[in-house]
Structure 1
Amino acid sequence: MDLFNPAEDENISMVHPEYFIISGLSKLPRIHLYYIFLFLVYIVSVLANSTVMTVICLDRRLQTPKYVAVFNLAFVDLFGSSALVPKLLDVFLLGHRRVPFRSCLTFLFFCYTCLSMQPFNLVALAYDRLLAIIFPLQYQARMTHRFMLSLILSFWLAVSVLVALATGLLTRLSFCKSVVINSYFCDHGQIYRLACNSHYPNYVVSCVYPVLLFWLPLAFILLSYVAIGRTLAKVANWRRRLKALRTCAAHLSLVAVYFTPLLVTFTLMENIHPDGRIISLSLTSVFPPVLNPVIYTLQTQEIQEALGRLLRRARCRKRDVTLK
């Protein structure tokens, strides 16, 4: 009888380690410079996403269903960066590589939840553009605040349940061998492979979840733009085509920023050195939260105008205070 297989004896208790040791990139020379760079990227991410969220909250003209999704995207980027980067710096830059078992699972849950919410935010924005271009006369009736909030909340619920299930399955595993995780955070795949007992359910999860949380959102986004392209092809006025494409420019840039590095990494996975793969995935985790608010600020005229109005109000208030 396999003493580490709970399927054979339900009375056997799990062997959970006191801690895991995160060892990814530890052998690379001058790696501390990379983590200092990530810290600077994190600071920019916090400032940029906080600015976007503040502008949307303070400007009533931006309080539309579309910008509810943009606000949620900025929130996810801010929350995700704050869940990942400070702990990453604590582990690698300060040398606290031992992460308690429960803390590691908590770390995993929040990181995976935020990373998984990003493509669903892009799905919400793609659906918004789809309705605006294909059904312009029905857009106001279909795309309401209530609908967008319900859509985003349903995404949060679905992602949280799926990630909680994956995290919970790790608690049924026994770890009697190594506790060293060769990654930059508490990675689900790296953890379940360390188990002594059967980890088949975790393997199934690792195969199914990328389809549900990555490929399906990407497929919906691509199909939505195929439909948008077919609709625009029927429009005779090239100015209307150009205007419609401009409204999609920021969203398409976000899609490219998020999905392209992942597609390249997973396509070339077998030919990439493990350390190179870890660096690639870590950059994929921290760069979209920095670039997303920058892209929306530079490519969205509405946010530029709102930011300008808020700055003018601030200057006027400062001038009034000075005159008094």
Structure 2
Amino acid sequence: MAYNTSTMLVWQHFRLPPEGALPAFLFASLSYAVILFCNLLLLLTIVLSKNLRQPMHLILLNLPINDLLGSSAFFLQLLKEMLSESGRLWHPWCLTQAFFIHLYAAATVLILTAMAYDRYVAICLPLKYNAVMTHAHVMRIIAAIWLACLLMIGVLFFLLLRLPRCRSAINNIYCDHPSLLALVCANTTVNHVYGLLTVASTQLLANGAIMYTYLRILLACFRSRRSDTKAKALQTCATHLFVFLLLECLGLFTIISYRVKNLPPRFRSFMGSSTMIFPPSLNPIVYGIKTKEIRDNLVYFFRSKMIKSCVRDVHSSS
């Protein structure tokens, strides 16, 4: 069988009807703009606010960074293709996009797990919080998250790059590992086994840790005699669990869609795109703006800016 050494790939199912091209481009542009604005706002608020230096905020800081990383890898190529309509893609850029999309997916799950662990210590072990969640311990957690993700995804793509290609058609609207693996004409058993093992181990670790921590938090809330504390904790748990379950469901459906042969490619693309659009849009709202300390800093920042602007206008008019 002839191997394909070309550096150009072809989008197989990217063609949009003329009447749908403009609405699709506007929706993609607006979605990316919303994700950029919300995550940059959350990122700058945490970085510039001196009172947001608690362990929770240091872990939370990684969420907008990761969302910006993943959404940029997805949307920049998508918008470029919508504008050019070339139907072709450079293979190294496809690999880069796929690498960062998978890095985003893995890091999101582990960052949310670390945030759940922080909330568990804060609510269930409040007297030990400062002793457990020291700055050094938080830095080790953050470093472990990114090193584990880089190692897992690095090995995944190393196993992919060792195999020869003999096809060039990408059956998705973005590049990911399954799409690139479909271009290979060789035995991919090792790749499939490693991929399934990493997904299974990550999901078992994340889901087990999150379910355990939130169950302990809920039990602590019900035992609390303060109704306001109970209501606040329950609301926080509910919103955080909703976003996490949304991410898990979208990710699970995307993984299953590659195992179902007769599934329409557009449905598979829709599920994968939803994973790249909805969680990065909701994360800064649920984990950022709904957090009292961050919301107070945002209000203070905008109020101070408005006051300075008014004073400047008064001085200039006088």
Q: What is the percentage of aligned positions where both structures have the same residue?
A: 29
Give distance in 2, aligned partners of 1:165 and 1:227: 35
Moved more, 160-169 or 186-195: 186-195
Decide which of 274, 281, 296 is 2:287's aligned counterpart: 296
Q: Does 1:312 pair with 2:303?
A: yes
Q: Which position in structure 2 is the counterpart of 1:192?
A: 181
Q: Which position in structure 1 is the counterpart of 2:278?
A: 287
* Stretches of structure 1 lacking an aligned partner (at least 5 in a row): 5-13
Secondary structure of residue in 2 paired with 1:137: helix
Asked if the contact 1:124–1:151 (Cα under 8 Å) also holds between the matched residues in 2, the reply is: yes
Q: Does 1:172 pair with 2:170?
A: no
Q: Which position in structure 2 is the counterpart of 1:19?
A: 8
Cα root mean square deviation, aligned:
2.5
**Match for 1:313: what amino acid?**
S
**Match for 1:312: what amino acid?**
R
**Match for 2:113: what amino acid?**
V
Change (3 A) 1:293 1:173: same
Give distance in 2, aligned partners of 1:27 and 1:55: 39
User: How high is the TM-score relative to the length of structure 2?
Assistant: 0.88
1:104 to partner: Cα distance: 1.8
Q: Does 1:235 pair with 2:224?
A: yes
Please list the CA deviations of residues 238-262 of structure 1 after superposition, one character each: whole Å capped at 9, or x if unmatched: 4432233244344334313322333
Change (3 A) 1:233 1:134: same
1:76 to partner: Cα distance: 0.8
**Match for 2:296: what amino acid?**
E
Q: Which position in structure 1 is the counterpart of 2:207?
A: 218
Moved more, 42-51 or 164-173: 164-173
1:308 to partner: Cα distance: 0.9
Give distance in 1, aligned partners of 2:307 and 2:139: 35
Give distance in 1, aligned partners of 2:106 and 2:180: 19
Secondary structure of residue in 1 paired with 2:51: helix
Change (3 A) 1:162 1:290: same
Change (3 A) 1:265 1:185: closer
Asked if the contact 2:13–2:172 (Cα under 8 Å) also holds between the matched residues in 1, the reply is: yes
Change (3 A) 1:158 1:24: farther
Change (3 A) 1:223 1:29: farther
Change (3 A) 1:302 1:246: farther
* Stretches of structure 2 lacking an aligned partner (at least 5 in a row): none
Give distance in 2, aligned partners of 1:159 and 1:281: 19
Decide which of 33, 39, 50 is 1:49's aligned counterpart: 39
Aligned length: 312
**Match for 2:118: what amino acid?**
D
Asked if the contact 1:42–1:81 (Cα under 8 Å) also holds between the matched residues in 2, the reply is: yes
